Amino acid sequence: MSGIFCDDSGQDWSDDVRSIQSAPTERTALIKRPSLSNDAKEILAGDGCGKPTAGNIPLLRVALIMGAAWFGCLIAAIDSTIMATLAGPISSEFKSLSLLSWLTTAYFVASATVQPISGRLTDIFGRGPGLVLSDVVFAVGNLICAMATNQYVMIFGRVVAGAGGGGLLSISTFLGSDLIPLRQRGVAQGIGQLCYATGSMLGGIMGGLFNDHIGWRIAFYVQVPPAIFCAFAIYFLVKAPPEKESDTSYLKRIDFVGVFLIASFLILLLLGLSAGGNIVPWSHPLPLTTIPVSLFFLAGFIKWESTIAEPVIPVKLMLNRTVFSGCATNLLATVPFMAGILYLPLYLQVRGSSATDAGLQLSPSPFGIAVGSLGAGYIVKRTGKYVGLGILSQAVLTSGTLLLNLLSSQSPNWLLSGAFILVSFGAGSMSTITLIACTAALDHSDHAVVTSAIYLARGLGSTLGVTAASAIYQNILNTRLWERFGSETNAAERIGRILEDLEELKRLEGHWHEGAMQSFMEGFKGVWVMFLCVAVLALLCISRMQQYELHSTLDRKSRE
């Protein structure tokens, strides 16, 4: 663990923290005095046991804090992908397979809404209280899901859990920015990505195991105790800053209008994309009104954020080429990874695999994330270079999406597993590299905000990716089924059952089974093609990043 907090010579950097408060201000973007969060300042004051530490951060204290934060990331990641193997069974139980995508997108919408404001809020109220609140909200959301009696309560529970999970993922990264020097942060970010990737893959496996052997509700109940444990751990490890302003002063600094505008944009856009061609025709007033209105809210968000004093996401940051490229890359590259976690198990279940087996087929992909994120972090730590490495990582991800386009109803499972390992490797290394690049391009005082922007981009990629994949999949599947069986007796009834319940596939015989399987495979093919297109765009975006100097200490002065 200590290697994370050492420079290339192996020397522990924690003794250098005492120099933070006297670090000179310089004129270049990366060399200004860092603006520590309130929680980081509190950590500097003691070792957690009431004993002063002469202004330095005890390594054990940092390890415990980041360990608790990363454990929160792991359980949030589990919850973000548990629907990979549960969405089908839950939708079938509620007799509403057309709402399958909302079980996932509801989580991502809430997460994407919370993440951009979490940076500014925790700058004001502190990282510790933010993490504790996120853990509690996450636990409550999972309780609601476990006790849901219909799909609407289930979706509401996913919204609540997503809000908590989004805070856990983003605030843990802010803590890392507060406590770990930029040059060493790549390895620490790699560990965080490993926790996230492990949780992402465990989500599908856990969901399948619980669904096949105990019941899907238990999959949500078991997430509550770990979340409460994390809340207590963070409460005692990360001290809340002393109150220096009134509650009214705090509230005046929160950009509620910006939050409303970005949330409205996301909800309306996703509602229109999910409903069009799936619940209602594209010519229906619902998609025709919600999508244009969502763009109006987006324009309003951009306009508002460019004028307010403390915006959720400062628009001026996007004028930096590296920041814009990094955020765009995260948005695009997240699409094949997160949507793949949902649709690859569904592809296997359509082919006849159980929910457990479908989850296990993707279990090697955390290895790809681990090697990608940790490897990228280590290389950046040793060399201080990241642009070429970022292009290589995205090229690997693109090659994985290319292999996915070779899948058919008869393809060997190793082809799917191998392709998604490449996608996972590229996503893991990309996320580490782009976060380092964007923070290197800005002063420390902007790190929490730009990290929020990156997480917003990832949240948008997850949400839009799953929604777009669902729209493509459902529209192609519905169209192909009607083309093949529209003239058959009782076609509407039988096609409706196929669209609402995956178990109906097992009851089909003869040309109905063959035609339905072909229709499903064509729907999946449309999703794989979309993955390839956005991966190529992400490759173009990441190539536009610029190289900045990476400093080895918290005061950003290079060691002699």
| pLDDT score recorded for residue 239 | 67
Q: What is the pLDDT of residues 17-74, one digit of tens each?
A: 333 333 443 333 333 333 444 445 544 444 333 333 334 567 777 788 888 888 988 9
507-510 own/partner pairs: CB under 8 Å, 24+ apart: none
Does one domain contain both 271 and 334?
no
Does one domain contain both 136 and 265?
no
Q: Is the pLDDT of residue 288 over 80?
A: yes
| pLDDT score recorded for residue 406 | 92
Does one domain contain both 138 and 227?
yes
Which of 291, 309, 327 is the last residue in one of the domains? Answer: 309
Phi, psi of 155 (to 5 degrees): -65, -40
Q: What is the pLDDT of residues 316-327, one digit of tens each?
A: 778 888 889 999
pTM: 0.70
If you average pLDDT over each of 72-76, 206-210, 367-371, 437-441, which comes out highest?
A: 72-76
Helix (H, G, I), strand (E, B) or coil at 276: strand
Quick one: average pLDDT of 302-329?
A: 83
Containing 347, the helix (H) or strand (E) segment is helix 321-350
| pLDDT score recorded for residue 160 | 94
Does one domain contain both 296 and 345?
no
Which of 215, 239, 263 is the last residue in one of the domains? Answer: 239
Does one domain contain both 305 and 337?
no
Domain assignment of residue 60, yes or no? yes
Does one domain contain both 466 and 362?
yes
Quick one: average pLDDT of 227-256?
A: 71
Which of 239, 266, 289 is the last residue in one of the domains? Answer: 239
Does one domain contain both 169 and 204?
yes
| pLDDT score recorded for residue 249 | 62
Q: Is the pLDDT of residue 534 over 70?
A: yes
The CATH number given to whatever domain includes residue 169 is 1.20.1250.20
What total of structural domains would you count in the chain?
3
| Residue, of 145 and 49, whose pLDDT is higher | 145
Does one domain contain both 277 and 338?
no
Share of the chain above pLDDT 90, in %: 18
The number of beta carbons lying within 10 Å of the beta carbon of residue 426 is 29
Domain residue limits at 269? 254-309
Q: What is the pLDDT of residues 207-227, one digit of tens each?
A: 888 888 888 889 999 999 999
| pLDDT score recorded for residue 8 | 42
What distance in Å separates the CA atoms of residue 102 and residue 226, rounded to the nearest whole number? 25
Domain assignment of residue 37, yes or no? no
Does one domain contain both 299 and 321?
no
CA dihedral 543, 545, 547, 552 (to 10 degrees): -120
| pLDDT score recorded for residue 392 | 93
pLDDT band of 555, cuts 50, 70, 90: low
Domain assignment of residue 519, yes or no? yes
**CA–CA–CA angle 249, 554, 446 (5° rounding):** 40
| pLDDT score recorded for residue 243 | 47
| pLDDT score recorded for residue 278 | 64
Domain assignment of residue 245, yes or no? no
